[in-house]
Structure 1
Amino acid sequence: MTQNTEPNSGRRRIWSRYYSTFIDVPAGPDWRERTRAAMGAVGGIALTGLLCAIMVGSGLSHPLLVAPMGASAVLLFAVPASPLAQPWAIIGGNTICALVGITILHIAPVTWLAAPLAVGGAIIAMSLMRCLHPPGGAVALATALGGAGGASALYSFAFTHVGLNSLLLVIVGLLFHRYSGHSYPHRVPAAPSSHATADVVPLDRVGVDAADVDEAVAAYGEVLDVSTQDLHALFKDAELRASGRRHGDLTAGDIMSRDIISINGAAGVSEAAALLYERGLLSLPVIDSAGRVEGVITPLDLGREGALAHHIASDPLLAGPSTPVAALIRPLSEGQRHEILVVDEALRLRGMVTQTDLIAALAAAA
């Protein structure tokens, strides 16, 4: 009996893997975010239609909405980070494709010929204009087929209907994503150089860099629905996570200095300066009478206006004793701060991790 069931089980696994390629569940946001995207699309389409009705009227020759706007809304609200969902892709792609469809309609008024030429021409035009947008193919097809009661045969249709729909939809999307906290138009914030120089941050000087990602994408040979900047950011984050896995259970509490020289926030600035210079310190934590952290003073902070230590203190980077060492790598390598103060739940100072401590810990782990 066992010999008969094992081949069947193997075949089921093979078919399961085969069919899973058709129903792939991509990694992405949770249902709360998906519901928010759906509500954004509802508002986007409703407001776009309403504004178009006010601006150009409605009717067979003046449709409120061009049907492919539904597909544009899916991209705009559900995957706002996609290069295919950026403002120029939506506005430029849809409008240019409408112009292509209208041109094909005039050149080849036969449906069976106009339809494929419009879609193919739309792909070429969008690629040349760097505004690839999948719904644009539907726009080109619809105009080439002479929809909207014949209005799509007029070149003005590309601007007064398709272009206007696209513009209004993008404006609603901009407002929606600003309210919801998304970055739109999508951009990957570059880590600034701490000294305003041309050098990239230390983490970007080793491992995978932007040029490696560009070359890998070019060699891959497929169009990916993600920018190389996003891929680079994902790879760097994955490197840090892999580093955390390699370093196991090592925490901030394991590598921190415990005998910390600090100063009360009510002390004078002159006393803070004396401590820094006499003890050769780069960082001086500022605490209140209960031992809670109020800030940190560095030699650069001594030039600030103020009579008391807490007046000139900078905002510190904080971590808990159980914070993984890997989580300290990025903040301490970006050059903004040279130390992380380790505090308990009540923000009382328990220790400090400096760049030197981190280097020593990573070297020992290696």
Structure 2
Amino acid sequence: MTALQALWQRLGPVSTRPARRELLRAALGAGLGMAIVGLLAWADRFAHTGLLFLFAPLGATAVLVFAVPSSPLAQPWNCVVGNTLSALWTLTLLHLAPTMPLPLSAALAVGGAIALMLACRALHPPGGAVALLTVLSAPSLLPLGWLLLVPMAVMTACLVLAGVLFHRATGRAYLHRPAAAPAAVASTSPKGSKLALSQGDLQTLLTRFDQSYNLTPDDLGALLAAAEEEAIQRRFASITCGQVMSSQLLTITAQTSLEAVADLFHSHLIKSLPVVDDKGQLTGRVLRADLFDWLWQGHRDQQQKSLWQRLRKPSSQRSPQAVARDLMREPELCVQESTPVGELLHELASHTVQFIAVQRGPLLVGVITRSDVIRTLLSINS
């Protein structure tokens, strides 16, 4: 690596290139937002109030609201309160020390605005620009007096409202709620995998690494959960379903009597049985719960019959006629032997999947249960 390449790695772009859709959404949203506040300023000229006007830091606020809406710095409280507090602090400073030299007043305005925003949990980078703008444009802005707070608050609020409506219309989350108490429910990733950290734990991590103003606890939780899921999938990427499956199969056919099915469920701690045809191809499954429901319904029917009905048609005559086809369901999920196990983790994590059938072509050669995956995971970690 040359010295120039090393310098580029240190000083070059850090953020990744955004997707085209996100680029267009940010540009379109910021343009629409600025057009709305621009129309308000234009309309105010005809009203002759002189209160609503465009100011440069609104452009920086638009960048945050429309390009990085998940940032804590871009939330409505930070935008409106941050800009307004910065203007309030600078006005107070200029009224208390009107003859202060420009370099000193600029330094105190920006530094004090940052401290005040931090104290009020309203840090907003354009607030520093509002403070500097007020100092540099004091001759034209000070005649407004305290009314200067009106355009800072109203125009920023209108831009934020435009951001809320735009992000809601385009399906992107913008408003973030404050972090819940430490006892809150653990965060989840978009796919629903639970992360064993509370909102309080996530907030502590953000504070520990000085990232409280870059990410929200929900964002960090989603990132950690996604990373955890990706790590597990990579760990299982080299393991195929054929290596994990249980090849010693207990199968039945569609003509197997329910008496025989009940004996199998009684003899083995299993919740379902695969149904195959005479060629060994999977055609369905029978659940233990369905069999119990069928037996209970038959018992209730017998109890409701009169003595004469029981004598004419004993219940024992019905059992040989009931076969697995009567309770058979469609196959739930089938994969080939070469399928990586990592692709099945989400399905196996749900409690609705009893087993995953593994096939060699059309033939059933094994099944995978949650126990098989746990056993494999323990062998990897040992």
TM-score normalised by L of structure 1: 0.68
- Contact 1:101–1:142 (CA<8 Å) still a contact in 2? no
- What are structure 2's unaligned runs of at least 5 residues? 180-185, 255-261, 276-281, 294-328
Post-superposition Cα deviations, 1:144-177, rounded to whole Å, max 9, x if no partner, equal 334593367422321x211111111111111211
Correspondence for 1:326: 342
| Pair 1:354 & 2:369 matched | yes
Identical positions, percent: 36
Local SS of the residue matching 2:239: coil
Match of 1:38 among 16, 23, 27: 27
Find the counterpart in structure 2 of residue 191 from structure 1. 188
Residue 68 of structure 1 and its aligned partner are, at CA, apart by 0.6
Matching of residue 364 in structure 1 with residue 354 in structure 2? no
More moved, 56-65 vs 84-93: 56-65
Task: Summarize the Cα distance change of 1:165–1:365 in structure 2 as closer, same or farther, 3 Å threshold.
Answer: same
Aligned counterparts of 2:35 and 2:60: Cα–Cα separation in 1: 14
Mapped pair 1:176 → 2:166 = yes
2:64 aligned counterpart, secondary structure: helix
Contact 1:90 1:133 in 2 (8 A): yes
Instruction: Give the Å deviation of 1:261.
Output: 7.5
Residue identity in the other structure for 2:371:
T
CA deviation profile, 1:205-248 (whole Å, cap 9, x unmatched): 7xxx7677655554545766223443343233223323333333
Shift of 1:183: 1.3
Residues 332 and 338 of structure 1 are in contact (CA less than 8 Å); yes or no, is this contact kept in structure 2?
yes
Instruction: Say if 1:174 and 1:219 are closer, same or farther in 2 by CA, change over 3 A.
Output: closer
1:34 is matched by which residue type in structure 2? L
Count of matched residue pairs: 327
* Alignment of structure 1 residues 1-366 onto 2, 5 Å: 13-27=2-16, 29-54=18-43, 61-110=50-99, 111-146=102-137, 149-150=140-141, 153-158=144-149, 160-186=150-176, 190-191=187-188, 201=194, 203-204=195-196, 217-220=206-209, 225-252=214-241, 254-255=243-244, 282=271, 324-330=340-346, 332-333=348-349, 337-339=352-354, 353-366=368-381
TM-aligned CA distance change 1:149 to 1:52, over 3 Å? same
What is the CA-CA distance between 1:121 and the residue it aligns to?
A: 1.0
* Offset at residue 65 of structure 1 (A): 2.0
C-alpha contact 1:77 1:173 (8 A) present in aligned 2? yes
RMSD (CA atoms): 4.9
Instruction: Show structure 1 runs of 5+ residues with no match.
Output: 1-9, 193-199, 265-273, 304-312
Instruction: Give the AA of the match of 1:75.
Output: L
Q: TM-score when scaled to structure 2?
A: 0.65
Computing the radius of gyration from Cα coordinates, the structure with the larger value is 2
Question: Residue 99 of structure 1: CA displacement?
Answer: 1.2
